[in-house]
Amino acid sequence: MPRIVSKINDFLKLETSAGFVLMAVALLALIANNSPLAGLYTSFLSTPVAVQFGGFEIAKPLLLWINDGLMAIFFFLVGLEIKKEVLEGELSSFDKAALPLFAAVGGILAPALVYVYFNAGDAIAIQGWAIPAATDIAFALGVLALVGSRVPVSLKILLLAVAIIDDLAAIVIIAVFYTQDLSITALSWGGVGTAVLFAMNRFGVMRITPYALVGLFVWACVLKSGVHATLAGVLAALAIPLKPKDPNASSPLHRAEHGLHIWVAFLILPLFAFANAGVSLKGINLEAILAPIPLGVAAGLFFGKQIGVFSLAWLSVKLGLAKLPKGANWLQVYAIACLTGVGFTMSLFIGTLAFDDEVILNSVRLGVLMGSLASGILGYALLKYSCRDCPIENKADTVNIKT
């Protein structure tokens, strides 16, 4: 048990620090795109980058290399975390997974319905229905860290588990709803590569490099197929072995997760945030803020998330399907529900899949920033109030998320 607590502790320390970095980078992007540097900011993201091998070529602006390429590495890490939690972690049994599972379902459905309510009459705008259904774990944990060590460890684990289930749902949503016209040839080659990945797992390949090389091939095929390329990262992650052949050896999955985490947290996600969080405030007024898309995104994150997560969590406990987190009360669970409305990175990412018009994307960014900021402030205030009399957790028994 102490070893498991130590691993969770290390993970949350890293995620919390990354949350603060993301906040700083988002602010930097906002300043850059609303200053004399706006032209340089736009030119930087529009820089053409091409890779060619014989007749095979991938040519995209830098922004899409970040969104389609680097984010595939992020989703590879997400896939590793999901596999680990399902096989040996907080989602490995129904007793453990029940409360975050029901809460996450509510946190996906309610925000989507709120967004649809504001945009039902617009065939283009409705494509963004999944934007407010996401949770940014790094940002949420960054807010949680501001409350300090009085927050019960069970609440931190609940937030982490809900976010992981959210990520899994986001993967399914991207695959089903945000796939363009399919190239059967490219998709078939991607399927061959995926089969090779799982064959390597079946035959006990424990080195990570072969999986990375085949995974790169699968990524290129999926990119050309019309299915979003980030899904290749998830497929590669699911093929990484969790248990080594030698019981005294380290787990390949744990090695890959440990090696990638710092790069994703402090390079890939900050780059994505810098590239996608630069909201142009030119012409922003009350009418622009209350337009259906930004209002639907903001209301979905702020109202939809807290209502959906809390109501299904409460209902599941009252029906005896789940248990209230140990040492926590309902006000604290409601505060966690508010924090799930901090969508940021994942919401921005889904926004880039739903729309390609820069004016609409700016509205999405505005809505994401408004909804995430409001959710973070309310969640922090409620936790600060509800945990004011809670004992400071013993370091041997808790998960300390201070930076």
258: which 2 tokens? 């440990």
What is this structure's pTM?
0.81
Q: Give the per-residue pLDDT at 402.
A: 32
**Phi-psi region for residue 374, left (φ > 0), alpha (ψ -120 to 50) or beta?**
alpha
Expressed in angstroms, the distance from the first to the final Cα of the chain is 23
Residue with tokens 């390329």: 229
Query: Is 14:77 a contact under the CB 8 Å cutoff?
Result: no
Q: Give the per-residue pLDDT at 6.
A: 55
The kind and range of the H/E element at 59 are: strand 56-61
Residue numbers in the chain where pLDDT is lower than 50: 1, 5, 394-403
Q: Give the per-residue pLDDT at 100.
A: 92
Residue with tokens 């699911």: 238
Domains annotated for the chain, with CATH where assigned, are 2-386 (1.20.1530.10)
Annotate 228-266 with DSSP letters as a single string.
-THHHHHHHHHHS-SS-SSTTSPPHHHHHHHHHHHHIII
Q: Give the per-residue pLDDT at 399.
A: 41
CB atoms within 10 A of CB 401: 26
Q: Give the per-residue pLDDT at 16.
A: 61
Q: Give the per-residue pLDDT at 10.
A: 55
How many whole angstroms separate alpha carbon 194 and alpha carbon 81? 19
